[in-house]
Amino acid sequence: MFELSQPLERETIRINSVNRSVEILDQRALPHCVAVLSLQNEEQACEAIRSMAVRGAPLIGITGAAAMALACSKDSSNKALNEAAERVKSARPTAVNLAWAVDKVLQALLSLPASQREAAAWDSAESILEQERRMSLKIGKYALGIIEALYRKLGRPVRLLTHCNAGALATVGPGTATAGFYAAHQKGIPIEVYADETRPRLQGAMTAWELCSCGVPVSLIADNAGGHLMREGLIDAVFVGADRIAANGDTANKIGTYLKALSAADNNIPFYVAAPVSTFDASLKDGSGIPIEERSGDEIRRVYGADENGLPASVFITSRSQKVMNPGFDVTPSRLITAFVTDQGVFAANELEEIWKDGKDAEQ
C-alpha cells in the first residue's frame, strides 16, 4: 500500500531532463493499487491524460509540457512541434492549464534554432513543474489565512467541505483546494474535512485517502449529502479547485461544483475557489465559452474499485446499453463565489484583472 507521510510533492510526476524520462503515478486504481508508469513518447503522455492516469488541471498541464518534451526529442521541426501541440491540447478540453503549458513550451521552442530545442523543451517542462509546485505552496499560505481567521472567530475546529480532488494528487505540491487544509493541519489549527465522493470517477475518495494518510481528519460523504450538511450548520466554508476561470470569475470545475455553490449561497457559507494563475483564461469574458468535456458513458454505467484481493475491478450498475449523459464539468457563476485563492493572493471576482495586469506569468 502506498503510504503518504506528507503531501505528495513531485511524486505525481517525475520529469528527468538528464535521461529524458517521464514517470507518473497512475491514479486510475488509487487508492487500492499504486503503479508508476513510464511515458516513452508523446502518444503515451496524451493517453495518460485522456484516460485520467494523470488528472487534475495543474498536473495535466505539467504532463502536457512533458509530452511536448517527448515530442521534441523525436522531431524538433516546426511542423512536428505544432502538430504535437495540437494533439496534446486536444487530449482534454476543459482545463486551460493544458493549453497554457503546451503553448508556453511551444512558443519557447519555436523561438530557438533546432539544435537548441530538445534541451530547452525538457528544461521548460521541469520549469513548469517547479512553477506549479511553488504556486500550490503559495495558495496554501493564503488559504491558511482564511482558515486561521475562521478558527479564531469560531474557537473550535473549522469544518470544511471540498469537492472532487484538487489535492496533492492533482498537482505537484499540497494541492489547490487542499493546500490550506495541509497548511492549517501542520500549524496545529484543528480542522475537520468533508470530502464529496464525486461521482462518477470518485476523485473525492482520493482526497479522503491523501488527507487521511497525512493525519488530516476527513470524512468521505455522498455527493448528495453536502447540501444537507450545510443546511444543518455543519460546514463553515467550502474550498474547491478549478479547471478554467473566465475573466468575470465564472469557474469550470468538476461536475457537481455548481450544486455545492448553490447550497453554500443558500446557507450563507463562504465558497472559495483555489487555483493558480495558470487556471485563469482572460480570453473568455464569461463562463459561456468554456468547453465542457463529455466523457465515456461507461463511467456512469460502471463503478471502478478493487476486488477482495485488492486488485482493480469494476461492476456494471446499470444495463450495459443504458443511455447516459456524462458531462465532466459544470460552470459556477462568479456571483456564487466568495473569493479566489490564488498564488498571488485572495481576490474577489471583481478584482481578477489584478491577476493578469502584469501578465499571467507574473512569476517567472
Ligand X SMILES: CSC[C@H]1O[C@H](OP(=O)(O)O)[C@H](O)[C@@H]1O
Active site residues: 243
Residues touching ligand X, count (CB under 6 A): 17
350 annotated to bind ligand = no
Contacts of 103 (CB under 8 A, 6+ apart): 85, 89
56 annotated to bind ligand = yes
CB of 354 to ligand X, least distance (A): 21
State which of residues 71, 269, 328, 340 lies at the interface with ligand X (CB under 6 A): 328
Question: Cell 521552442 maps to which residue?
Answer: 109
Nearest to 81 by CA among 62, 67, 91: 67
Nearest to 37 by CA among 55, 58, 19, 14: 14
Q: Using the minimum distance from each CB to ligand X, give the nearer residue, 94 or 213.
A: 94
Query: How is residue 112 annotated by DSSP?
Result: S
**Under rule CB under 6 A, which residues in 190-209 are in contact with ligand X?**
203
State which of residues 176, 207, 332, 344 lies at the interface with ligand X (CB under 6 A): 176
Question: Helices 78-89 and 42-50 meet at what angle, rounded to 10?
Answer: 10
289 annotated to bind ligand = no
Residues forming beta bridges with residue 36, ordered by sequence position: 25
364 annotated to bind ligand = no
Q: Is the peptide bond before 270 cis (omega within 30 degrees of 0)?
A: no
For residues 231 and 158, what is the distance between their CA atoms, to the nearest angstrom?
A: 16
CB of 12 to ligand X, least distance (A): 11
Q: What distance lies between CA 217 and its chain's CA centroid? A: 21
89 annotated to bind ligand = no
Amino acid occupying residue 160: L
CB of 112 to ligand X, least distance (A): 31
Q: Using the minimum distance from each CB to ligand X, give the nearer residue, 76 or 178.
A: 178
CB of 360 to ligand X, least distance (A): 17
CB of 295 to ligand X, least distance (A): 8
Q: Using the minimum distance from each CB to ligand X, give the nearer residue, 120 or 177.
A: 177
State which of residues 170, 218, 337, 341 lies at the interface with ligand X (CB under 6 A): 170
For residues 61 and 69, what is the distance between their CA atoms, to the nearest angstrom?
A: 13
203 annotated to bind ligand = yes
Nearest to 69 by CA among 101, 37, 24: 101
**Under rule CB under 6 A, which residues in 236-275 are in contact with ligand X?**
240-243, 253-254
**Under rule CB under 6 A, which residues in 150-169 are in contact with ligand X?**
164, 166
HSE-up of 220 (CA within 13 Å, CB side)? 16
CB of 43 to ligand X, least distance (A): 20
Binding mask 38-57 for ligand X (x = CB under 6 A): -----------------xxx
Contacts of 240 (CB under 8 A, 6+ apart): 162, 163, 164, 166, 177, 253, 254, 257, 260, 271, 272, 273, 274
Q: Is the peptide bond before 190 cis (omega within 30 degrees of 0)?
A: no
Q: What nine digits make up the cell of 304? A: 471502478
57 annotated to bind ligand = yes
Q: Which residue is nearest to ligand X (CB)?
A: 241
Q: Rounded to a whole number, what is the distance in angstroms from the first to the last CA of the chain?
A: 38
Q: What nine digits make up the cell of 312? A: 482493480
Q: Using the minimum distance from each CB to ligand X, give the nearer residue, 227 or 276.
A: 276
Q: Applying CB under 6 A, which part among 144-152, 170-178, 185-193, 298-306 lies near ligand X?
A: 170-178
Q: Using the minimum distance from each CB to ligand X, give the nearer residue, 72 or 237.
A: 237
Q: Using the minimum distance from each CB to ligand X, give the nearer residue, 55 or 185.
A: 55
Task: Name the phi and psi angles at 135, rounded to 5.
Answer: -65, -40
Q: Using the minimum distance from each CB to ligand X, give the nearer residue, 120 or 238.
A: 238
CB of 255 to ligand X, least distance (A): 8
Q: What nine digits make up the cell of 318? A: 446499470
Binding-site residue set: 55-57, 92, 203, 253-254
Known binding positions for substrate: 55-57, 92, 203, 253-254
The residues binding ligand X (CB under 6 A) are: 55-58, 164, 166, 170-171, 176, 203, 240-243, 253-254, 328
